[in-house]
Chain A
Amino acid sequence: MPYYVFSVGGTGARCLESLIYLCAMGIHLDQPLFPIFVDPDQSNGNITRTIKLIQKYKLIREHLPRPSKDYLFNTEIIYSDKENSPNTTVKIPNLYNPNSGLDPAQNKLSHFIEYETKLQGTDYKFLADLLFSKEELNMDMSAGYRGIPSIGSILMTDIQNQAFWTELRGRLEEDTASRVFIFASLFGGTGASGYPVISKLIKNASPTTKVGGVLMLPYFKLKDPENLQKYQESLKKEKIMPNSKSFMINAKTACEFYKNNYSQIDSNYFLGDDFEHCKQYENYAIGSAEQKNDAHMLELMAAYAAIDFFHRESGNFKPFYVIQVKNPDKNADITDVVAEDIPHQDKEKPFERFALLYHYINELFELIDKDNAKLLDKIAWLRDLKIDDKKVRARDIIDKKTELSSLKELMDSFQEWIYQNHNNYAKLNILDYELKLDNLLTNNPNKYKGYHISHLDTKFYGKKTNQNDLLGDMLEAMSLAKITEGR
């Protein structure tokens, strides 16, 4: 009974990234998460970054065989890199390329609809001309649909012709608890085309399945493509390039489309921000690895929307959801998103706990890297950890460096993610953006005043863990630790 999460396009991948972090932080989902990336450009930097996160998440979670719902990493993520083989039953892939039916050398709509061949000489050719421009017909779609969802919708429709679609439909029909959630932007190409088509096709396939999704309204800008074309040789021949100057119009027009619930989706969460103040992405790329954009606070909110949707009682789905944040409260210049804006009961707590973990792991690795067994033995919270009923010694920790490294890497990317979330017009202001220990909470610097990690560790000490695994023990210990007000 998994929760299928369709991450469509680059924005979808980043929203999913946020959702994975929330899962890592211990926000509980009562069903496994089944991410499905839908993008014609799977080398897209946003996707690869999220996939790596999922892979680390899974590595880490393997050390927690039976996690309690309060534990970090407690949500199972169903993800496999392996493709279907002829000898196995059809798997639902975590990655789907809607252009997979196309010859990579002919990655154009005209090729897909056989414009130059079967349609020529028929009136259908004129029908294609009526619905699509020449540029659209001949646009290279290998890196996505470049802000033209009418094209993407055609390719997306092809998903129903894939073998796994029948499998998915079967599972959804069979498992009424399953839900589907879609992350996509409304103003781009891939996401905007995938969102309504996938939702409609799922509803067509399994009308009882609850489908929700986040539609991201414009929240970032791109560099002016006309300027870029003047200087970048590689872009000069491009006839269609995403242009953020049309984002708002496209979004507004697309919203008109959703008014009529054409996609038959149960719940649409709309998120966006004052476009005038939105940040311009440093990278301008039509797709591919270069399209690797910073995380955004709104994507985190999108992840919360998914959680909200998954937590909602059946029968309590409304078509449109939006959210307010506190700021600007008194000072019009302050637009930060603060703890009370988090649409979840735990508010900022999971972030704080994860930030502490970040610090513990960082300190640990500093000593490991220096091979400082003496100081390692003095870390109090490690003293009662046991592996195979043996107390963990500094040397054991140094030897387990590899096992611990996936956690270290995830925590490092978390720190980067938090940093990026701070770097928006609407900053995520619930943690210090650098996760400084002395000033962990910027909005309440006195909260943990006087604490030092060496003091904190006493809070962990004495917790019984039963993982018989250093990493598992450490995560269990951290999950059980309670952060309280300062002394």
Chain B
Amino acid sequence: MPRYLLPKHKSLPQTTPGQWKELTITDFTTFVNEMEVSPDSKINVTSIPSPWARMLLFKEAIKSTNHLIHKEVMSNILDVLEIIFYYELMNINIEYKEIKIKNDEKNKFLKILYDLSPEEIKKDDIVSIGLLIASRDSNDKFVLAGTSPFSLLFTPMNLKHKEGNTVFPRYFRERPVPLKERPKDFQKWINSNFLTKLRKDGNYPDLVKALSDEEGICAESLKEPLTQEILLPCDFLLESSLGNLLEKINTKKISSSYLLKPRKENEIPPLVIDPSKSLYASEYYNGYNYLQDFKYEELKNSNRDFLPGENIKYPWILPQEDFFQPVLIKYKYRLNNNRLILGSYKDSSDMKYALPLTDTFFNYFNYDDVQDMLSIQEISDKTVRVTLKIPIQNGDYIEIKRDYFQDLTNSKENRIINYDDRDIDTPLPHIMIWPPLHPDNWKDSYYAFVYGKRYKDAINQEEMVPLEFKDQDFKDINYERSRKADKIEIFRLETLPTYIVISDIASNGKGLLILNHKSLTTIMNPEKSAKVGIDFGTSHTNIAITIDNSEPEVLKYSSGFLGKNLNDNDFITLIRFSEPELGREQIPNLIYNYLKQYFLPNSLSEIHNNQSVDMPLPSMILMEGDTDSYEALLNTSIAFSKDDVGLFNYDLDGMTIKKTYVQQTNLKWEPQLIKQQASKEYLRILLLLLKYELIKRGVDLKKVEYHWAFPKSFSETLISDYKKMWRELVGDVYKITDESKAALLYFDHKGILPRNTPDIAIIIDTGGGSSDISIWQDGQIHMLYSSLWAGKNLVGFEKDNKIYSIIYDAIINLPSTKRDIFQNIKGFQNQLNYILYSLDETTLSNLARSDSFYKIRFIILYFWSALLYEIGIQCRAIDMDNIKKINLFLAGNGSRFACWSSGAVDKMDEQEQEIYQKIIKETIPFKNEVEIHTSAAQDKKREVAIGLCRGNEELRAKEASKRQLIAEKVFIEANSDLSNMTIDEFNELILQNGHNIHLDQNNSEIVKFHNTFFEVLAKSNLYRDRLKNDRALSNLESIKNILIGDWGKFVGELRGVIEDNIKNYNSISSSVFTLEMQITINRLHRYLSENQ
């Protein structure tokens, strides 16, 4: 059969070969339509011989579904419409420009365009064409489409998809995308909005026909109407005829099954991209599938604001990268599963991995989502797999895994970091937070103790492992911090953290600890009231509390746990050491020791035990030497420790980071600013402990009354300073009384003060700095005063670097005293305090009963006898005619010495009692036989505190009827006996006249006392049988001579003491007798020390 000399086609009519045959237009059209094109043809139509080729190509192509590139062209038109529809989501700008070209155009290019233009784009001999110009920023403008009278729009060849096309990678591709494969909203808009308008417009019949074709580009697409509210006109088209046809959608959201389902209310949930599975052709967004299979490495550094491979501005996440840390931090010890949210692990009590979650994760999820979402699994000896179940919008989950490896030598990523292998130099922070109270109950700051070598070196403050503390909303918590030593740091946190983020600078990774607040006990509706008595003593301090008028309780910061309780009870501890670890391992032991040294003890108690800290607490504080800032626990610490090896090393510890520490003792009496500051900080720390205890007991802190006592011998200035301090510490809810009254209140509260009898009760509360005396008779307070005659006078003195203290000498040489431990404490009296504080009663009792204790017993007798003699002088002002009995109650820490040799806490040695009774009888001229009864308090050292918080209010309000006398026959001028003068009167006299005093040796009370004491003693069995055996004590006359023999010198010394006191305190501060005794007892100390 003959053939046409033409490309393959189907059916042109047969004709005679060898003759030209004319074709009608119809035949020719048929021929063109049927012309066969091989499927492997490269579709890149460029053959239209006109500069308007692209427009004409679109024109022809939309006319027939058979046209070679009909689908491509229709797809391109839909692409443009879709880009306009979503242009805000794509974050592009579009502008519209109209170009008009006239026949007489001078520009060559425009003239040619005019000459070769299709007639349809000419109107009144002017060629007119609209341009849609798109841009991401003003510099990258490009043409999105041109208007066409034939196809409404046509697109430039430049947009045709090529590899690496980043402008519109999804659009203008060779493979046409039918409407049904496009976003649902867009489908609806095309069918129900755009087509309707286009039909009504009537200018684009071919396009309407193509879009309406049942088998065309819009086949099987959604026809439902789109809610009108979500459509907006395109601002840039307002001046164009397109403005009536085209619209944009008012949304910045996309749809996808793979949108994250965040627990937090985020406006835009990001798209989750998981490249661990093949992405190609799987669901992406808005009904689209992925065009390519992205690899993890490729996505890792891609901009998270634009969907990969797309032009859509929409956030997305690569969870393996965005939710997981690059490294996994492993602790050597178990994390505390009682307190922390640890995710799922085979045995949560054995979990050691800080959670490798990122900050980004918590943009979308809360801490309490972690438990269900995260699991950690050791899949081999060296590999740990972390899995995250991420909820997505379709109700399902995406499970993401990341493996971390041990011994990954060449890569920083995916490593397991085991800092703890470095043992005590580990940079991994071991953190203990105090108090272990829920923030609902604790409105004050929280404190964190951190152990770990987190800094690059000691001096440089560059952190290798920084810490972040975040609240429930993952916001940073404000804090102040102080590095105490190379590995120790204390943080004061504004609130209790939920998240603790541990950063590893070297690997740029982080580990996360999530504190489960629900694990903390919450005290519901604390509404009890409390009274607090604070006995801030010279050497020790006690705090007692009474809740809702219950029995008073001395503050014990204790869970009742004995042992190294670093785990759950007294701190929120993030590491959970096992018992064997606590006993054996260095880190828990160091933490334990450092806690007591710099922070808070893990247990305060009244029970003397190596693992706990006994009450009362020594009144000593450590302060940073070179700081102007004093903040409880940050720059100041109470050294709670007492007996562990290596304690009081803060000087050495601080030295490594160029910090110095100053021990501040004798806080109470010193008027200097630094001492006042030290007192304040000391009390502030104790008040923190107190508040914690009160809250635990259900007390409403607003219903707390603070009672503080001061010694009667305090100067007015000191009292005023303390009032100010208390106001700053607790506000106006404090009340003050004097210590002697407080002791009285205690004994009254105990019901042992005699009532309805004329008997006298004398309470002697001997502390470290003063003895507070109260003299009581049948509900009447005769006298309240304090005497600067106390523990510090008893234990000796230090002069020219020599210690004159036989007590210290005896104690320090005891085999059970670990003297090395205490050598860093400044001042032998402080050391002695600590040593005595650390020794148990049996050791002390054994010491007291030994021969080597005779000198000590002698000085104790001398001390108490002098005190009683002075009390006796004061009692001369009281009518003793009907007295049958005097009860002497010894209280205070100092009374411990009085009972020492009895071997019991609350009892004096009987032989010693006899001596004291005789001294009193010699001092007070009783008319009748008087029974003198001596006893010591059970609650020794705590009487003032208890008395303060529990005392009878009526009694508290009572004043003493008598004033303390100077207790010595003093002359200013001849024949002017001032012995009945009160101290206040004497102070005034001295201040006004400034004359030196004179003493009559024959009538002096100090001489009388010594005569009495040595006489009584010499006759006593105690002396004759025992004390005399000590060589130094064998000649009492000789000793007496040493003490008061050189009268002129003695009087000179007394004048010096009086002058000093007046100068420093505007008061002689004690009776003259007491001041004299201060001189003689020092002489005695010197004598005894030198004659050992």
Residues of A whose CB lies within 8 Å of any CB of B are: 112-115, 118-119, 123-124, 126-134, 136, 147-150, 152-154, 157-158, 186-187, 192-197, 200, 217-218, 243, 245-246, 248-257, 259, 262, 269-276, 298, 301, 305, 308, 318-329, 335, 340-343, 347, 426
Which among A113, A136, A254 is the interface contact of B48 at CB below 8 angstroms? A254
In the complex, the chain A residue whose C-beta lies closest to that of B156 is: A130
In the complex, the chain B residue whose C-beta lies closest to that of A147 is: B46
Residues from chain B with Cβ under 8 Å of A245 in the complex: 38, 40-42
Residues from chain A with Cβ under 8 Å of B22 in the complex: 318-321
A149 to B53, CA, bound (A): 9
Q: Do A253 and B45 have beta carbons less than 8 Å apart?
A: yes
A312 to B32, CA, bound (A): 26
Residues from chain A with Cβ under 8 Å of B116 in the complex: 153-154, 157, 197, 200
Determine, out of B9-17, B312-320, B747-755, B758-766, the stretch whose residues face the partner at the interface: B9-17
Residues from chain A with Cβ under 8 Å of B142 in the complex: 129
Q: Which of B21-46 contact A (CB under 8 A)?
A: 21-25, 27-29, 31-32, 35-38, 40-46
Is B395 an interface residue when CB atoms closer than 8 A count as contact? no
A154 to B7, CA, bound (A): 28
Q: Do B110 and A325 have beta carbons less than 8 Å apart?
A: no
Residues from chain B with Cβ under 8 Å of A243 in the complex: 42, 44
Q: Do B108 and A113 have beta carbons less than 8 Å apart?
A: yes
Q: Do A252 and B99 have beta carbons less than 8 Å apart?
A: no
Encode B547-579 as 1/0 by CB contact (under 8 A) with A: 000000000000000000000000000000000
Q: Do B5 and A273 have beta carbons less than 8 Å apart?
A: yes
Is B684 an interface residue when CB atoms closer than 8 A count as contact? no
Residues from chain A with Cβ under 8 Å of B60 in the complex: 253, 256-257
Given A153-B116, A249-B41, A254-B49, residue A273 in contact with residue B21 (CB < 8 A): no
Q: Do A248 and B17 have beta carbons less than 8 Å apart?
A: no
Given A245-B41, A252-B37, A254-B49, residue A324 in contact with residue B17 (CB < 8 A): yes
Residues from chain A with Cβ under 8 Å of B99 in the complex: 123-124, 127
Is B608 an interface residue when CB atoms closer than 8 A count as contact? no
In the complex, the chain B residue whose C-beta lies closest to that of A274 is: B8
Question: Which of B5, B6, B145 lies at the interface centre, i.e. has the most chain A CB atoms within 10 A of its CB?
Answer: B5
Which among B29, B48, B160 is the interface contact of A253 at CB below 8 angstroms? B48
A362 to B158, CA, bound (A): 58
**9 nearest A-B residue pairs (beta carbon):** A250-B47, A113-B109, A150-B53, A318-B22, A149-B49, A133-B157, A320-B23, A245-B42, A254-B47
Given A124-B107, A340-B18, A343-B18, residue A324 in contact with residue B28 (CB < 8 A): no
Kindly provide the distance from the CB of B16 to the nearest chain A CB, expressed in whole angstroms.
Answer: 7
Q: Do B17 and A340 have beta carbons less than 8 Å apart?
A: yes
Which among A113, A158, A249, A341 is the interface contact of B43 at CB below 8 angstroms? A249
Kindly provide the distance from the CB of A83 to the nearest chain B CB, expressed in whole angstroms.
Answer: 24
Q: Do B56 and A257 have beta carbons less than 8 Å apart?
A: yes
Q: Do A246 and B109 have beta carbons less than 8 Å apart?
A: no
Kindly provide the distance from the CB of A191 to the nearest chain B CB, expressed in whole angstroms.
Answer: 9
Given A320-B28, A321-B20, residue A127 in contact with residue B48 (CB < 8 A): no
Kindly provide the distance from the CB of A139 to the nearest chain B CB, expressed in whole angstroms.
Answer: 11
In the complex, the chain B residue whose C-beta lies closest to that of A278 is: B7
Q: Do A118 and B107 have beta carbons less than 8 Å apart?
A: yes
Q: Do A133 and B3 have beta carbons less than 8 Å apart?
A: no
Q: Do A276 and B8 have beta carbons less than 8 Å apart?
A: yes
Residues from chain B with Cβ under 8 Å of A256 in the complex: 32, 60, 67
Which among A131, A255, A347 is the interface contact of B52 at CB below 8 angstroms? A131
A355 to B100, CA, bound (A): 62
A335 to B1, CA, bound (A): 10
Q: Do B18 and A341 have beta carbons less than 8 Å apart?
A: yes
Q: Do A305 and B17 have beta carbons less than 8 Å apart?
A: no
A123 to B45, CA, bound (A): 26
Given A249-B41, A340-B17, residue A196 in contact with residue B50 (CB < 8 A): yes
CB<8 Å pairs between A and B, sample of 29: A112-B108, A113-B109, A127-B113, A129-B156, A130-B129, A131-B156, A149-B48, A150-B52, A150-B54, A154-B109, A157-B115, A192-B47, A195-B49, A243-B44, A245-B41, A246-B41, A248-B36, A253-B68, A254-B47, A255-B35, A257-B60, A308-B20, A321-B21, A321-B22, A322-B21, A325-B3, A329-B2, A341-B18, A343-B18
Q: Do B15 and A114 have beta carbons less than 8 Å apart?
A: no
Q: Do B38 and A248 have beta carbons less than 8 Å apart?
A: yes
Which among B18, B24, B115, B154 is the interface contact of A323 at CB below 8 angstroms? B18
Given A248-B35, A320-B28, residue A127 in contact with residue B18 (CB < 8 A): no
Question: Which of A243, A245, A253, A298 lies at the interface centre, i.e. has the most chain B CB atoms within 10 A of its CB?
Answer: A253
Q: Do B45 and A249 have beta carbons less than 8 Å apart?
A: yes
Residues from chain B with Cβ under 8 Å of A320 in the complex: 22-25, 27-28
Is B832 an interface residue when CB atoms closer than 8 A count as contact? no
Kindly provide the distance from the CB of B1059 to the nearest chain A CB, expressed in whole angstroms.
Answer: 99
Is B51 an interface residue when CB atoms closer than 8 A count as contact? yes
Q: Do B6 and A259 have beta carbons less than 8 Å apart?
A: no
Given A248-B41, A249-B42, A253-B69, residue A273 in contact with residue B20 (CB < 8 A): no
In the complex, the chain B residue whose C-beta lies closest to that of A255 is: B32
Q: Do A124 and B110 have beta carbons less than 8 Å apart?
A: yes
In the complex, the chain A residue whose C-beta lies closest to that of B146 is: A130
Given A126-B97, A253-B45, A298-B5, residue A259 in contact with residue B28 (CB < 8 A): yes
A326 to B7, CA, bound (A): 16
In the complex, the chain B residue whose C-beta lies closest to that of A191 is: B49
Which among A114, A187, A197 is the interface contact of B108 at CB below 8 angstroms? A114
A149 to B47, CA, bound (A): 6
Question: Which of A131, A193, A255 lies at the interface centre, i.e. has the most chain B CB atoms within 10 A of its CB?
Answer: A131
Encode B732-754 as 1/0 by CB contact (under 8 A) with A: 00000000000000000000000
Residues from chain B with Cβ under 8 Å of A327 in the complex: 2-3
Residues from chain B with Cβ under 8 Å of A248 in the complex: 7, 35-38, 41
In the complex, the chain B residue whose C-beta lies closest to that of A134 is: B158
Residues from chain B with Cβ under 8 Å of A347 in the complex: 18
A298 to B19, CA, bound (A): 14
Q: Do B7 and A251 have beta carbons less than 8 Å apart?
A: yes
Q: Do B109 and A322 have beta carbons less than 8 Å apart?
A: no
Kindly provide the distance from the CB of A216 to the nearest chain B CB, expressed in whole angstroms.
Answer: 10
Is B4 an interface residue when CB atoms closer than 8 A count as contact? yes
Is B112 an interface residue when CB atoms closer than 8 A count as contact? yes
Is B131 an interface residue when CB atoms closer than 8 A count as contact? yes
Q: Do B5 and A246 have beta carbons less than 8 Å apart?
A: no
Residues from chain A with Cβ under 8 Å of B157 in the complex: 132-133, 136
Residues from chain B with Cβ under 8 Å of A321 in the complex: 20-23
Which among B37, B42, B109, B143 is the interface contact of A126 at CB below 8 angstroms? B143
Residues from chain B with Cβ under 8 Å of A134 in the complex: 158
Q: 12 other contacts beyond A253-B48, A322-B4, A322-B31, with CB at 8 A cut-off? A: A130-B146, A154-B109, A186-B47, A249-B43, A251-B7, A257-B49, A275-B38, A320-B22, A322-B6, A323-B18, A323-B19, A347-B18
A271 to B31, CA, bound (A): 12
Is B141 an interface residue when CB atoms closer than 8 A count as contact? yes
Q: Do A153 and B49 have beta carbons less than 8 Å apart?
A: yes
Kindly provide the distance from the CB of B61 to the nearest chain A CB, expressed in whole angstroms.
Answer: 8
A147 to B42, CA, bound (A): 13
Q: Do B20 and A305 have beta carbons less than 8 Å apart?
A: yes
Given A192-B49, A325-B3, A343-B18, residue A133 in contact with residue B156 (CB < 8 A): yes
A358 to B270, CA, bound (A): 83
A213 to B655, CA, bound (A): 103
A324 to B17, CA, bound (A): 5
Residues from chain B with Cβ under 8 Å of A126 in the complex: 97, 131, 133, 141, 143
Residues from chain A with Cβ under 8 Å of B17 in the complex: 323-326, 340-341
Q: Which of B340-370 contact A (CB under 8 A)?
A: none
Residues from chain B with Cβ under 8 Å of A218 in the complex: 7
A169 to B785, CA, bound (A): 138
A54 to B640, CA, bound (A): 119
Is B57 an interface residue when CB atoms closer than 8 A count as contact? yes
Encode B44-87 as 1/0 by CB contact (under 8 A) with A: 11111111111111001000000111000000000000000000
Which among A114, A136, A323, A342 is the interface contact of B109 at CB below 8 angstroms? A114
Kindly provide the distance from the CB of B131 to the nearest chain A CB, expressed in whole angstroms.
Answer: 5
